[in-house]
């Protein structure tokens, strides 16, 4: 008889799954049929967070429908979506507050998170090393609209309790962000033990990348946290809805343009150009929105 289980660890080759109802964990693998379909037909491969049916001998025989997902363009490939996590409730997007805030990178992360149906929260990491946290918060606010921002120092404990409170019992949260911003150190504080290896600082004071696989860890409050390696590339596939939610002020203006296919260049009655001219719309936000919109348009073009 098959059992329901959730993928807790994915190292790219094998899986560890948690059996429903506290039945413990088990090493599992794709059965022959699923493996062939993944390799030859491009069938959906289970990822961390997925619910699956597991046979008595530890083979994954079926993948349950996903409620949410986080996906990106597979590195180096055209129009190939790579789902990196499934059934996630909350995504903490981490950026370092010690002079490394990149508004454009945050906008890209938020477009992906919104498109997957996941609630985002931005973490300003290493707040203890920042001379002016409020100035950095203002910079982030310019890029994230109404998304909540939490200043965090995993070293001093600032903001850690607030992060923990956001992860409700039974829910799954994840940490996203570039390598070296302190995600593994935060995981250790939340779990209450040195579970994740933390790398030494480089010569420039930045942390080294340490997480090498996607793994769910249980938190003392009953929630779950998915730690993932930092991602060098976060390409968009078809995150048009997520783009609109990441740039709500631009999206609202595009609805007011005279022409539905307005390109916001020289068309008459363009609400976007009017807002730019009056200063009501930030030019850097529009340029970022336009760049991501054009990227999505290129992804949808038929390949020759």
Please tell me the predicted confidence (pLDDT) of residue 73. Answer: 63
The pair of three-digit structure tokens given for residue 271, joined into one six-digit string: 């609400």
Q: What kind of fold does domain 3-64 have according to CATH?
A: OB fold (Dihydrolipoamide Acetyltransferase, E2P) (2.40.50)
Q: What kind of fold does domain 247-300 have according to CATH?
A: Ribonucleotide Reductase Protein R1; domain 1 (1.10.40)
Q: 0.85 exceeded by the pTM?
A: no
Alpha helix segments (H runs only) across 96-239: 103-115, 133-144, 160-166, 183-191
The domain ranges of the chain are 3-64, 85-227, 247-300
Please tell me the predicted confidence (pLDDT) of residue 74. Answer: 57
Which neighbouring-strand residues pair with 81?
73
H or E segment to which residue 249 belongs: helix 248-254
Please tell me the predicted confidence (pLDDT) of residue 66. Answer: 96
Please tell me the predicted confidence (pLDDT) of residue 104. Answer: 77
Please tell me the predicted confidence (pLDDT) of residue 71. Answer: 85
Q: How far apart are CA 269 and CA 257, in angstroms?
A: 6
CATH homologous superfamily of domain 85-227? P-loop containing nucleotide triphosphate hydrolases (3.40.50.300)
Contact 25, 232 (CB under 8 A): no
Name which of 163, 94, 104 is nearest 282 in CA terms.
104
* Residue-by-residue pLDDT tens, the chain, 304 positions: 899 999 999 877 689 999 998 889 999 999 999 889 988 888 899 999 999 999 999 999 999 999 999 987 655 545 567 788 999 999 999 888 876 677 878 888 888 888 889 999 999 998 998 888 998 888 888 878 789 999 999 888 999 999 999 999 999 999 988 777 788 889 889 998 655 554 444 444 444 444 457 889 999 999 999 987 655 445 544 455 556 666 777 878 888 888 888 888 888 889 988 888 888 888 888 887 887 777 666 444 333 2
Q: In terms of DSSP bridges, do strands 172-176 and 148-151 run parallel, antiparallel, or are they unpaired?
A: unpaired
Contacts of residue 225, Cβ cutoff 8 Å, sequence gap at least 6: 167, 172, 173, 174, 175, 187, 190, 191, 216, 217, 219
- Alpha-carbon distance values, 207 to 101, 131, 140, 165, 200 (Å): 15, 18, 21, 26, 6
Please tell me the predicted confidence (pLDDT) of residue 203. Answer: 46
Please tell me the predicted confidence (pLDDT) of residue 202. Answer: 42
* Measured CA angle at 183 (ends 177, 189), to 5 deg: 155
Please tell me the predicted confidence (pLDDT) of residue 115. Answer: 85
Contacts of residue 105, Cβ cutoff 8 Å, sequence gap at least 6: 95, 178, 234
């Amino acid at each position: 008889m098959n059992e329901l289980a959730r993928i807790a660890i994915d190292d790219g080759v094998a899986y560890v799954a948690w059996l429903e109802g506290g039945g413990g964990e088990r090493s599992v693998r794709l059965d022959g049929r699923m493996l062939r379909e993944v390799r030859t037909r491009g069938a959906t491969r289970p990822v961390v967070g997925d619910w699956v049916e597991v046979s008595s001998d530890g083979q994954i025989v079926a993948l349950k429908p996903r409620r949410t997902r986080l996906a990106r363009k597979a590195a180096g490939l055209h129009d190939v979506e790579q789902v990196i996590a499934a059934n996630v409730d909350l995504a903490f997007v981490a950026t370092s507050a010690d002079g490394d805030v990149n508004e454009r990178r945050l906008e890209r992360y938020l477009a992906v998170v919104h498109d997957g149906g996941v609630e985002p929260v931005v973490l300003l990491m290493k707040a203890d090393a920042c001379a002016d946290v409020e100035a950095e918060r203002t910079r982030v606010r310019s890029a994230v609209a109404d998304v909540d921002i939490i200043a965090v120092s995993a070293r001093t404990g600032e903001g850690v309790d607030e992060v923990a409170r956001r992860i409700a019992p039974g829910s799954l949260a994840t940490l996203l962000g570039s390598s070296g911003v302190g995600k593994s150190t935060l995981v250790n504080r939340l779990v209450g033990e040195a579970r994740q290896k933390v790398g030494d600082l480089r010569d420039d004071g930045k942390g080294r990348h340490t997480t090498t696989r996607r793994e769910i860890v249980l938190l003392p409050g009953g929630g779950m946290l998915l730690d993932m390696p930092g991602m060098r590339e976060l390409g968009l596939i078809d995150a048009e809805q997520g783009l609109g939610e990441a740039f709500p002020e631009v999206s609202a203006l595009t609805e007011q343009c005279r022409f539905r296919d307005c390109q916001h260049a020289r068309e008459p009655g363009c609400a976007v150009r009017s807002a730019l001219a009056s200063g009501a719309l930030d030019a850097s936000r529009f340029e970022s929105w336009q760049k991501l919109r054009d990227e999505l348009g290129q992804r949808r073009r038929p390949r020759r």
